[in-house]
Structure 1
Amino acid sequence: MTNNEYAGKIAFITGGGRGFGKAFGTALAERGAHVVLADIDDEVAESAAAELIARGAGATGVACDVADEAAVAAALDAVAEQHGGLDILVNNAGLHAAFNRPFTELGVGNVRRVFDVNVLGTVICTLAAHPLMAGREGAAIVNISSSAAYANRTVYGVSKLAVRGLTVAFAREFAADGIRVNAIAPGLIFTDAVREQLSPAEAKRVLGEQILEQEGREEDIVEALLYLLSPKASFVTGETLRVTGGFALSV
């Protein structure tokens, strides 16, 4: 445990069993929050939670398909019963690389699938969490968009553009309840999984489109999350913070 900045806070993180979601959960748990790691793969979620518990942190792993309204309701009902409310929601779960292709290549069935998870999943989780968060001091939601949302060339990119729109819409709707809503748009982040999947030529191409000549790190996204959730961002809502090294920069 590094500090108690989030002591007493309850955080629900979708896609929490691996990748960014696991990193977000670890950072919040290390700072005193009890984190609920929700993942479509229950074994992965429970394993990630067990790692945190072994380190003395508060964590729960739950099975949850964000596109399944009943499953989300059940998971958040359990949070309400066990903890009395919710302070932090991180809408991180999403479908990624395989859907970063044109609409004509994917077809309607795959388009529907990616929108069900990336867009409707964000809506379902946010609406279910809203009554548990309303009126709680410092309540905040962070959605995970993407730098692809600024290019809009693929099904994935358009779904993440929709996440940016949802961020603004929910920020307006929830302001009266004291809930801030923001998003992060990561660029290419060189995790171990990305290094395995990305060809050297593709990595070079993306780095060449950045302004900063350095590789994005998972810690860069974690730090952005911690800022948006913190009192330092108390006057920030409805925004999407790009963490991209200057990729796809525009005004």
Structure 2
Amino acid sequence: MARFTGRSAIVTGAAQGIGAVYAQALAAEGAKVVVADLNTERGQAVAEKIAADGGTAVFARVDVADPESATALAEFTVAEFGGIDHLVNNAAIYGDMKLNLLLTVPWDYYKTFMSVNMDGALNMTRAVWPHMRKAGGSIVNQSSTAAWTYSSFYGLAKVGVNGLTQQLAFELGGSGIRINAIAPGPIDTEATKAVTPEVIVEDMVKRLPLKRMGTPEDLVGACLYLLSDEASWVTGQIFNVDGGQVFRS
């Protein structure tokens, strides 16, 4: 399949893990991909791998918490590929996350965390909107089932991402831009292993109807579908890909 031939896509947080897999999958279906991340070394390696596999990709450094950096990324993409068709807001502080309670987390750390994990998606959407509104396009935000379970400020950020997705669906719809979110359950990545104690992971897996951790590849189908024309009448939705972890009515 080549659903994205001739189209450009930005994937933030694409230097590793889920973001890297999204970028590779989009390139495999013909997209010209901007691998966007703070980690230059790893991000360049992902872009180089995509190119070695026959795809088209470039690396661009971005700090999604900084509106000026987000704007610069959008302008870079237009200069490089002629426009912006798709955006995946995947960047987050996760692998290096400091666990704490909402009641006791240091305020400066909380504000920094939220500026990336929630506000970053808004900064990037605001940055691409002027370039996307003429021809339309689609956006996917990375949420989490943490939005419906106790996960302290991480869960709160994902509640914000869900609300942001739904509110922006109305504001972007008039420009022909769709926006949806994917809410993964526990995913087997380096970041998850670094943050979540093994005993907690084992307990989560025991409670899943499908008795295994998810993989980044398990999320690809939903991401590509939501970005593609196949989902042309789908916007403002939160798609759980979680092995049955969360039931929502």
Match of 1:106, SS?
Answer: coil
Q: Which residue of 152, 161, 165 corresponds with 1:154?
A: 152
The RMSD of aligned alpha carbons is: 1.7
Aligned partner of 1:238 in structure 2 is: 236
Aligned runs of 1:62-211 on 2, under 5 Å? 62-96=60-94, 98-99=97-98, 101-136=100-135, 139-191=137-189, 194-195=192-193, 198-211=196-209
Q: Is contact 1:145-1:160 (8 Å) kept?
A: yes
Match of 1:223, SS?
Answer: helix
Q: Distance in 2 between matches of 1:109 and 1:196?
A: 22
CA gap 1:53/1:180 in 2 versus in 1, 3 angstroms: same
Amino acid at match of 1:173: E
Q: Distance in 2 between matches of 1:65 and 1:159?
A: 17
TM-score by length of 1: 0.93
Partner deviation per Cα, 1:97-155 (whole Å, 9 max, x = no partner): 52453212322111101111011111110000011111325x10000011101125400
Partner deviation per Cα, 1:16-68 (whole Å, 9 max, x = no partner): 11111110000000111000011011222111101111122100001101011
Q: Distance in 2 between matches of 1:45 and 1:192?
A: 16
CA gap 1:164/1:37 in 2 versus in 1, 3 angstroms: same
Q: Distance in 1 between matches of 2:215 and 2:53?
A: 24
Q: Distance in 1 between matches of 2:140 and 2:123?
A: 14
184-193 vs 7-16, which moves further: 184-193
- In structure 1, runs of 5+ residues without a counterpart are none
Q: Is contact 1:42-1:64 (8 Å) kept?
A: no
Match of 2:213, SS?
Answer: coil
Aligned residues: 248
Q: Is contact 1:152-1:161 (8 Å) kept?
A: no
Q: Distance in 2 between matches of 1:204 and 1:84?
A: 47
Match of 1:37, SS?
Answer: strand
- With a CA cutoff of 8 Å and minimum separation of 6, indicate the structure with the bigger relative contact order: 2
Deviation at 1:193, TM superposition (A): 5.2
Q: Distance in 2 between matches of 1:71 and 1:192?
A: 26
Aligned runs of 1:1-20 on 2, under 5 Å? 3-20=1-18
Q: Is contact 1:10-1:88 (8 Å) kept?
A: yes
Q: Distance in 1 between matches of 2:132 and 2:238?
A: 21
Q: Aligned residues: percent identity?
A: 35
Q: Distance in 1 between matches of 2:198 and 2:40?
A: 34
Q: Distance in 2 between matches of 1:228 and 1:99?
A: 32
CA gap 1:148/1:100 in 2 versus in 1, 3 angstroms: farther
TM-score by length of 2: 0.93
Amino acid at match of 1:44: R
